Amino acid sequence: MLSFKAPITDIKFILEDVFGYYDHYKKTPEFSEATPDLVDAIMQECAKFSENELLPLYQSGDKEGCRWEGGKVFTPKGFKGAYQQFVDGGWPSLAHSEKYGGQGLPPSLGMITSEMMGTANWSWTMYPGLSHGAMNTITAHGSEDQKQLYLTKLIEGTWTGTMCLTEPQCGTDLGQVKTKAEPNNDGTYNITGTKIFISAGDHDLTDNIIHIVLARLPNAPAGTRGISLFIVPKMHIDEQGNVGENNNVTCGSIEDKMGIKASATAVINFDNAKGVLIGPENKGLECMFTFMNTARVGTALQGVCAAELSYQNALEYAKERLSMRSLTGKKYPDKVADPIIVHPDVRKMLLTQKAFAEGGRAMIYYAAKIVDDIESAKTDEERKTADDRLGFITPILKAFLTEAGLESANIGVQVFGGHGYIKEWGMEQIIRDVRIATLYEGTTGIQALDLLGRKVLLTRGKALSQFTKEIFSFCKDKSMLSSNPFKRQMNKFIWPLSKATANWHQYTMRIGLKAKKNRDVVGSASVDYLMFSGYVTMAYFWAKMAQTAYEKLAGDVENRDFYRAKIKTAEFYFERILPRTKSLAATMMADPKTLMQLDQELLSFL
């Protein structure tokens, strides 16, 4: 059976020491109540809930799965009780406006609690997790009446929310959406259509579900320019917020999936279901991106959760499993064999998992800090600046961290050997559950096109330059030319990071020049370019963590081994993982002709 211990020490290191979160909170009056004592108390309680209530349901929920009977979905045993504890504990309202019943704490604090819960049980966490995007969309684009009616119930956890985008004929290409919205005389709309792959689309945890739905108005422009956004509740609601009869919203089926079996992935049918417009007509896709960015950062978090859970269990197994002797001589002569953790290859696997889990956590919390800035922005200019920063890093987070999480989960099974392939241990479930993370909310290929095509080339490298300027500034400050007392120790990180960042710029320019002659260059280079970007970005945060660890060790601190381990893991990342960028550079700069020269008929030739 899987075990999990919330990594509070590492979380606090990143919050307090690496990113200075408490100074960040103090600068924003709305977040001033997020004191170290309060945040620590929240983390401790969240750890208890995650470890004691959610983790025990992880494997049992996978085994039982969800049931679809009579058009209704029933979640696995224990899920409903855990959700009620979640609501009773005030967790849904943690990072939302006090005006609508929230606690008014920073969004970044919500990300911290989501990580703990998600690592313990990702399938369960998806039910309340989808609500956050719905809440953020209504907060950003809803009218005051809509906020009072829908947002208050979502914040208190009485209702949950979803996002309804995908249809049978279209996934990422939302220009093909066919769901119709016919206006009524009372200002409502009749929504008709079918949405598929709707996470948490139906369940028995709450008595109502608020669907955020993309649909077309009559005579709307073709393609993405003619899509509007609607709030469509599963059940009718009166003006006082009381739930009535079904709103012609039904669950047609749930998918029989590879993983996340305890999370209902539903086909939702709307048959003249009453909904209300949110945001301007034909601007639904723009409004939906409020939801999408939230969902993509949340999906990136799934990669970190998988890496952490797999690492914790692989580490304990490697300490106990006895097999062969160390190549440098017996390490445990009183035992029949040495534990496998003494073997270099096993060490390499464990360190890769550790590097991805802790490096990924730093990347997520860096983004969470930007989300705080968006939330607390006082002017449109401040909000746009922060939103542009988040927009650039989001595809890197989503694609790179989910790919790294999948690699880490595979490594975990490898450490366990044959036992990893057996369901009893739970390691294979982590692979099955995280596999979807590279697919939903936009596949790795889609994220890569977004990064290279839209965020980099279309802005003529502006967004990239702003981020790499930050990296270069860090490198200059910590280099041999600075007054940094740890400059000698930091050189092994600074020079490779500086070179990799400079290469990032140079390869971007070369790809841009090639793309002017052949647009297929963008498509052929994009995934390798994104992964290259991800490795360099993670290197930046490992260098920051190493610098912070050196600073802590220079003082009188407890748990010195923790900081030493940070430095050693950073060294491993720079020596064993960052060099992957060299092969990625070669493949992303290769001519696309080898991909395109075979005719379709020849590709299928047997």
What's the chain's Rg over C-alpha atoms?
Answer: 25
CA distances from 390 to 27, 163, 385, 393, 576 (A): 20, 21, 9, 5, 28
Which residues are known to be catalytic?
441
Max CA-CA distance within the chain? 84
Helix (H) or strand (E) holding 196: strand 189-199
Question: 386, 388, 360: which is closest to 372 by C-alpha?
Answer: 386
Tokens of 30: 């709305």
> Which residues lie closer than 8 Å to 517 by C-beta, 6 or more apart?
none
Helix (H) or strand (E) holding 366: helix 344-376
Question: 530, 363, 373: which is closest to 454 by C-alpha?
Answer: 530
Q: How far apart are CA 124 and CA 101, in angstroms?
A: 24
3-state secondary structure 76-110: CCCHHHHHHHHHHCCHHHCCCCHHHCCCCCCHHHH
Q: How far is C-alpha 122 from the geometric centre of its chain's CA atoms? A: 11
3-state secondary structure 490-511: HHHHHHHHHHHHHHHHHHHHHH
Q: Over the range 488-501, which residues count as b (16 or more CB within 10 Å of their CB) and which as e? A: ebbebbbebbbebb
| Interaxial angle between packed helices 427-435 and 56-64, expressed in degrees from 0 to 180 and rounded to the nearest 10 | 70
| Interaxial angle between packed helices 487-517 and 560-572, expressed in degrees from 0 to 180 and rounded to the nearest 10 | 40
Tokens of 405: 């999480």
Residue 580 and residue 521 in contact, taking contact as beta carbons nearer than 8 Å: no
Q: How far apart are CA 505 and CA 399, in angstroms?
A: 20
Around 541, how many Cα atoms within 13 Å sit in the side-chain half-sphere? Answer: 24
Tokens of 17: 């020491």
Strands 265-277 and 228-233: antiparallel
